[in-house]
Chain A
C-alpha cells in the first residue's frame, strides 16, 4: 500500500511529467490560455491515461510472451489511437454533455506524448499491474495540476505589458521555467 502511495506522489510532484520529464509540452503550451480548456484537457488526460495504462499493461505482457517486444511502439500507439477514437464515439452517443466539455480535447490526446511516454515508461520500469495504473493516475493528476496552475498564471499575464518579442510563446516558456524551478523543491522527497 505504502509503495503505491509513494508511486503516486513521486509521479505527481518529484517526477512531474511537465516540469521534470518534459512530456506533454505541446498541449501544456497550447491549451493553457484559458482556465476552462485547461480543466477540460486535464480531466480528459486523467481518464485516457489511466485506462490506456491498464490496457497497455496486458498488451505488453502478451508481446513479451510472444517474443515480439520490438513491435511495442507500433502496437501501443495504434491501441491508444483506436481507444481514443472509441471513447469519442461512445461519449458522443451516451453523454452529450460530457462530450461538449471533453470532446474537442480527445483527438488532441492521441498525439500527446505524455500518454505514449507513460506507457513506454511503465514497460521500461517493469511495474506490476497496480503499480502501472497508480503511476498513470499520479502522472496524469500531476499533468492536470501543472496545466491548471499554468493557465491561472497565463490569464494574469495577459494583463501585463510584456515587451513585444517576448509575447506569447517566449514568456510562456520562461514562466514554465520558473514553475519548474519551484517544483525542483520536491526533489529528494521520495527516494
Chain B
C-alpha cells in the first residue's frame, strides 16, 4: 500500500519538478510566450490547459484498450478538441475578459504538444487514476511556469502584479515579444543551473561515500 502511495505521489509530482513541461521538456512554447504579458493571463491559460489535460488523460486512459493502434492519433485529437471546444465556450460565457485577452490561443490548446504528448506517452499506457494524476501534475507544473513568467514580465514591464499597481518604473520591452523570449531564456538557464548544481552535489556526495567506505576497509 505504501509503495502504491509513493508511486501515485511521484506520478503527480514529476510534472511540477523533474519533468516540468516548460523548463525541462520545452513543450507548449507558443502559449507560454504569447499569453504571459500579465500574471493573471498566465494563470488562466495554465488552468484551462490543466482542465483539458486532466479530462483528456482520463478519457484516453479509459478507451485505451478499445482504440486501434493505427488510428490512435486522430482519435486522441478528437477527444482533446472536444474538451477544448467545451472550455472555449465556458470561458466565453463566464470569464469574457480573460477569453478576449487569450484570444486565438484557446482554440490552439488542441495543438499544444503537452496534451497530445501525455496522451501518447502516458495516458494510453496507464490505468485511469494514474493518468488523472499525471495530467493534474503536468497541468499544475505548466500553470506554475506560466504564472512565474507572467509575474516577472508584468512586474518588470508594467510595474504591477495581478493588476495591483506597485511602482512607476516600467521597462516596456518585457511586455513586448522580445521580452518574452529573453525572460524565458534566462529562466531556463536558471533552472538549468540549479539542475547542474544538484547533479554536482550528488556526484560529490557519492564520491565522499565511496572514500569513506574505502577508508573503513
| A111 to B, closest residue via Cβ | B111
B186:A174 contact, CB within 8 angstroms: yes
**Among listed A55-63, A65-73, A135-143, interface-contacting one:** A65-73
Q: In the complex, which of the residues A71, A78, A124, A184 contacts B85, with contact meaning CB atoms closer than 8 Å?
A: A71
* Chain B residues, CB < 8 A from A117: 30, 104, 108
11 intermolecular pairs with C-beta atoms under 8 Å apart = A23-B34, A74-B85, A111-B111, A113-B108, A117-B104, A120-B104, A165-B193, A173-B185, A176-B185, A180-B177, A180-B178
Q: Complex: how many Å from CA A167 to CA B126?
A: 34
Which of the four size classes fits the interface of chain A?
A: 35 or more
Residues of chain B whose beta carbon lies under 8 Å from any beta carbon of chain A: 26-31, 33-34, 73-74, 77-78, 81-82, 84-85, 88-89, 104, 107-108, 110-113, 116, 173, 176-182, 184-186, 188-190, 192-193, 196
How long is the Cα–Cα vector from A73 to B9 in the complex, in angstroms? 35
Closest to B23 in A: A169
B107 and A164 form a contact (CB under 8 A):
no
Complex Cα gap A173–B23 (Å): 12
Please state if B81 and A24 are interface contacts (CB–CB under 8 Å): no
Closest A residue to B103 by beta carbon equals A124
With beta carbons under 8 angstroms apart, the residue of B29, B81, B180 that contacts A26 is B29
- Residues of A with C-beta under 8 A to B77: 77-78, 81
Given contacts A26-B27, A169-B192, A176-B181, 10 further A-B contacts (CB under 8 A): A70-B85, A81-B73, A120-B108, A124-B104, A164-B192, A164-B196, A165-B196, A169-B26, A170-B185, A174-B186
Nearest opposing residue in chain B for A113, CB measure? B111
Contact of B182 among A22, A177, A184 (CB under 8 A): A177
By the criterion CB–CB under 8 Å, are B178 and A178 in contact? Answer: yes
B30 in contact with A181 (CB, 8 Å): no
In the complex, how many residue pairs between chain A and chain B have their CB atoms under 8 Å apart?
A: 121
- Report yes or no: A78 in contact with B181, Cβ–Cβ below 8 A: no
Complex Cα spacing A23 to B34, Å: 8
**Residues of chain B lying within 8 A (CB to CB) of residue A77:** 77, 81, 110-111
Residues in A123-144 with C-beta less than 8 Å from chain B: 124
A150-175, CB < 8 A from B = 163-167, 169-174
From known contacts A29-B26, A165-B192, infer whether A78 and B78 are also in contact, taking CB-CB under 8 Å: yes
Question: In the complex, which of the residues B28, B89, B113, B181 contacts A174, with contact meaning CB atoms closer than 8 Å?
Answer: B181
Query: Is A35 engaged at the interface, CB distance under 8 Å to the other chain?
Result: no
**Complex alpha-carbon distance, A120 and B111, angstroms:** 12
Does residue A116 face the partner (Cβ distance < 8 Å to B)? yes
Residues in A with CB closer than 8 Å to B182 are: 173-174, 177-178
Mask for A19-31, Cβ within 8 A of B = 1, else 0? 1111111100100
Report yes or no: A177 in contact with B110, Cβ–Cβ below 8 A. no
- Known A165-B196, A169-B26: A116·B78 in contact at CB below 8 Å: no
